Amino acid sequence: MTDTRVENERAHQLVEAAENLFTAGVMSHSGHANLSARLDGGRFLLTPGFVRGLRPEQLATVGPDGQVLAGALQSVSAEIIAMHSTVYRARPDVGAIIHTHSPAATAFAVAHRPLPCRTEPMLRFGQAEDVPVVPWGPRGSDVSVRGIAAVLADRPTTAAVLLANHGLLVFGPDSAATAHLVVAIEESAEAELAAAAIGGAVDFPDGALADVRAAIARVS
């Protein structure tokens, strides 16, 4: 497959992932989000500053030094280039990144409380541990980016972080898998908040992750 075909395919996958987030109802009232997909040579596709009604040709291509190589970005997206770049540098296996202000997950971010892994979809979609909190820093600032890098170094197997007083940042092998995890995390956050009203959520029993993986393997 040529590089152009790969880029076109990933652009369409990114747009589809954005549409799926709206369909799932996990977006904030504003619909704010930014999504990216890794390309070769340290480049990545990035949403231009809006995601509702996005088309593949509206995506920008960003280079390894943060420069915009093709397309255009609104300032709201230009500010977060470093956030995406930091995750790609720290995680060579990551193929896509999604940042949202999903309401329930953001409630945990605002409270500076890690989101426990207590729902099976989180196990199935790649977050078999609590979602940690990155200390607050101004959006796109060196403080924020260094905080993300530090948490990723400390938690090498997490596929998501909560950005304190801000929102959710999720990363995965491709756009579809990353969007699935965003939905799983938002549903889990909603369930945690609801369970608090009836006595609180309960942890999985020991071995739950292994049991889920075995169940998946039996039908794969």
Per-residue pLDDT in tens (0 to 9) along the chain, 220 residues: 458 899 999 999 999 999 999 999 999 999 999 999 999 999 999 999 889 999 999 999 999 999 999 999 988 788 899 999 999 999 999 999 999 999 999 999 999 999 999 999 999 999 999 999 999 999 889 999 999 999 999 999 999 999 999 999 999 999 999 999 999 999 999 999 999 999 999 999 999 888 888 887 787 6
Distance CA 118, CA 187 (A): 11
Q: Angle, to 10 degrees, between the axis of helix 142-154 and the axis of helix 81-90?
A: 20
Distance CA 73, CA 143 (A): 22
Residue 44, token pair as written in the block: 């990545």
- pLDDT for the residue 172: 98
> Tokens 């152009």 sit at which residue?
4
Specify the pTM.
0.94
Measured torsion, CA atoms of residues 79, 164, 192, 129, in degrees rounded to the nearest 10: 90
Does the domain at 3-219 match CATH 3.40.225.10? Answer given as: yes
| Percent of the chain that is helix, strand, coil (3-state, to 5) | 45, 15, 40
